[in-house]
Structures are given as structure tokens and as C-alpha cells.
Amino acid sequence: MTAQKRFVKSKESLTALMTRYYSENHALAIAGKFVAWIAIIVPVEILKGFDIVVAVPENHAAMCAARGVGASQAERAERLGYSMDLCSYARIDLGTAFANGEGSPSMGLPRPNLVISNTNNCSLLVKWFDIYRREFAIPHFVLDVPFCYEPQRETDREYIIDQFGDLIRFLEKITGQSFDIEKVEEAVRHTDEANAHWKRFLSHAARHPSGITVFDTFIHMAPFITSFRGTPELSRHMKLLADEVEELAENNIVPVPGEKYRLLWDNIAPWHQLRAMSTRLRDLSATICSASYTSCVGTVEGELDCYRYDGGDPLSYLARIQNFSVCPYGMDLRFKVMGETIERLKIDGVVFSSNRSCKPYSLMQMDLERSVKEKYGIPTIMIDVDHADSRKYNESNVFLKLEALIEEIEAGRRA
């Protein structure tokens, strides 16, 4: 069986989920439901304690980029005066929102009654969401989550739980609804189950040849960063995905049958290049087995294994996982988890994707690169990518560097 026939059931499930997410949100908003736009990291599970529609602008921007309209939507924002140096997620989202959804595959997102951002990814995100507060004259709630240069401290966890309490009281006030903690607990159980299946799926990167590529992980993380997090639909999808990869393993179906080189990707997915990059890498017998961007899902900062819900206070669990995404980590945590990945997956080389948009993700990559070379003695490259703006990507340059990386791995084997 060819690589194109992999994950047939999971792809069907993914398409159904994502289509439903975008169309249902529009329909519910038209029916008069309260709509909140949230940043990816904001714990959507807390919002399940209310009856509100939740939409995620970053997910919409990534979807626009993957469907080939990221640059044109970003240009709309640039024509309004937003600098091309701003994160492309922000430009795509602003360009779409101020054109009432025109040009977007999903007709954008339903107009919000509230936006909720967080501080632990980047300051740009807070300013981006604040534009909607100003332009749409709606409230903007900012969750203040501390960075973690070391594993989260108990005082920080308590501080975050306090913020959750403020958010809940604020939502009760503006929606007129009563908060239901039992629904949050149920949502946390679904997230926890989905995370465990996700980790089961990711574990197939350790096989030789790898059972998955990073592109599989980029594609199938999509529902995690929507309002499906905290729902049985998400855990069912992740179970299907993990079961399907096990089925593929039993039948010896792998993405790169003649795999010779095992690589690691550092940074956000190059959404506009998924198919082109995966095809060319397969031709080079190279698998990018894993990415920090997708392996962090379901963990706490600096860890690779799933952080399981113990059945206690769901708000405490959600506070503990608030720094799961890579941006808020300090250098030591970034290196720790990267080193563990290199060892577990027997990685031959690392691709550092210097992301023109996401400065917090890219800032410490040169130091990381040096540390990887010093400790593991494996080759690395730094390529220029913008995760959602294809105008800031040069395929020839990137593949020249990827081929050079492979040559360096080969030379090391011959030596």
C-alpha cells in the first residue's frame, strides 16, 4: 500500500470534525448564542461550564495558510496598515475579520461578544486581541500566566487558579449564566483521554522506520486547537487515530519505507508547505519524526510524557498544564525536552525552523543549536520559514539546506 492510503478513517473523521466546527459555530451565532474568541492556550474546558460558542482565531489562520489563502488574507491587513513584521496569524485573522470573512474558506469566524487572550505565549497576541476590544467595542479578558524558566512553582499554579476564578465570575456576569463545574470536570476527562490517545499515536515515531511523520501530527492536532477540546468527539478522534496507526504498524505500512534519515523539527508547522515538504523529504528517504510543536500537547513544560488528570480539582489540573506549549519555556526546559526526544527517537539531525512570525519560539534557537551539537554531536540546520505566510518562504533555499543536512549525516556515518 502506498503512503497516500494511510490514515483513511482518521482523515475522514478530521474533515467531518473541522467542517462541523466552522459551520456549527456560524449557525449557533446566527441563532443568537454568545460568542467568545479565545487564544489557543486559554483552557476551553472552563468555557464548557457555560453555554457559549467558542472560536479560535489562530486555528482559523493556520487553516487559511494550509488552504493557500494565508498570504492574501494577510495582505488585507497590511493594506489597513498592519506591518508585515507582525505574526502572520494575527495578520490573517485581522485581514479576515475586517473583511467580514471574505476570502476565508470558512467565511471567517462568527463575530465575537468577547475575546480572551493569555500572556504566556507572546505580548503580540494580547495586543492583537485588544484590537477587537477597540474595534468591536467588546470586552477583552487577559489571562495572566507566568512564563516558566523552571518547572511551574506552586505559587504560580495558585496564581493561575485565581485568574480562572476571575474569568469564571466575569463570564457569569456578562453572559448571565451560572457556571457548572461538573461540566468542566467532564471536559477535563475528555481532554485527558484525548491526550493519552495522542501520546499513543506519537509513540509510533520511535519505530524504525518511523510509523508517522511530523506532517501527520501537524494535520491531526487541528481539532485539539478548536472548541472540540474537552469533548467526547475529540477523544473519539484521537482514539481512532491511535488505533489506526497500530493497524498500519501491524501491516508494516510506514510513511517512508526506505527511511535512512531521522530528523526532528523545532517550531510551528509550515502550514503552506505540508504536502510539498513531506513529498520531497520522502524522495530523500528522510522522515521528520517529531516536532516540539506537537509533542508538547498533553504534557507539562519540559516533559515528553502525558500529564494525566488525577480526578481532583479540574481547575488545578488546567492550571498545571497552562505552560504546555513551547513558547513559555526557558532555555533549559527547551533543551531538556529536545534532548530526550533526540535520545528516544534516535534522531540523526535537527531542523531548526527560524520562524519570521513567531519570535518567542525562534529567539533561542541558535543557543539550542549549539547545545545540541555540543551534547549530541549531530548535524543541525537553521532554515527560514514563516508558519502561515508563504511569501516569506523560499523552497529552493530550504531544500538546499535540507540536502546539505543529509550529506552531513552521511559524511558522519562514513567517517
Interface contacts to ligand SF4, rule CB under 6 A? 87, 89, 121-122, 124-125, 268, 327, 357-358, 360-361
What are the grid coordinates assigned to 204, written together? 509510533
Of 122 and 315, nearer to ligand SF4 (C-beta) is: 122
Residues with Cβ within 8 Å of 351's Cβ and at least 6 positions away in sequence, in order, are 263, 264, 265, 266, 288, 380, 381, 383, 402, 405
Burial class (CB in 10 A: 0-12, 13-18, 19+), 30: exposed
Q: 23 or 123, CB closer to ligand SF4?
A: 123
Minimum CB distance to ligand SF4, residue 327 (Å):
5
* Dist. CA 372–CA 336, nearest whole Å: 10
Sheet holding 53-55, edge to edge: 53-55, 35-38, 114-118, 140-143
- Tell me whether residue 59 or residue 278 sits nearer to ligand SF4 (CB atom): 59
* Shortest spacing between CB 42 and ligand SF4, in angstroms: 12
Long-range Cβ contacts of 76-80 (<8 Å, 24+ apart): 76/103
Task: Quote the least distance from Cβ 40 to ligand SF4, whole Å.
Answer: 8
The three cell numbers of residue 124 are 503580540
Q: How far is the CB of 235 from ligand SF4 (least distance, A)?
A: 25
Size of the chain, expressed as the number of residues it contains: 415
The least distance separating ligand SF4 from the CB of residue 128, rounded to whole angstroms, comes to 7
CB of 121 to ligand SF4, least distance (A): 4
Taking the least distance from each CB to ligand SF4, the nearer of 61 and 69 is 61
User: Which residue's entry shows cell 504566556?
Assistant: 120
Burial of 139 (0-12, 13-18, 19+ CB in 10 A): middle
Q: Of 107 and 124, which has the nearer Cβ to ligand SF4?
A: 124
CB nearer to ligand SF4: pick between 89 and 201: 89
